[in-house]
Amino acid sequence: PKEPSGSLSADNIKIKKEVANAFVKRKKRSSPYEWYFEYYKSPMEQMHERCENFPPCDYLSDQVGFALAYNRFFG
C-alpha cells in the first residue's frame, strides 16, 4: 500500500506494544519526592527560565551574572 507519491503512509506504520517497549523505557521513580520535583520547579529555576526567555536579560546575564541581570529587569 503505497501512496501515489511513492512514499509509505504513516497510518501503515505500526509496531506491537511489546516491540516498542523494547527500545522505549520509562524512567522509574523510587520515591514521592522524585514525583514532586519532576512537576514543581524551585523558585530559583523559575527565575532562571524567566530571565532566559527574555533576550535582554539572557544577554546581560552572560555579561554580568544572573543575579544582577535578573534584578535589573525583574527586581
At residue 11, the 3 state secondary structure works out as helix
Whole-model pTM? 0.51
- The full set of domain ranges for the chain reads 41-74
pLDDT (tens digit per residue) in 9-58? 666 777 777 676 666 666 666 777 777 777 788 899 999 999 999 999 99
Decide if 51 contacts 61 (C-beta within 8 A). Answer: yes
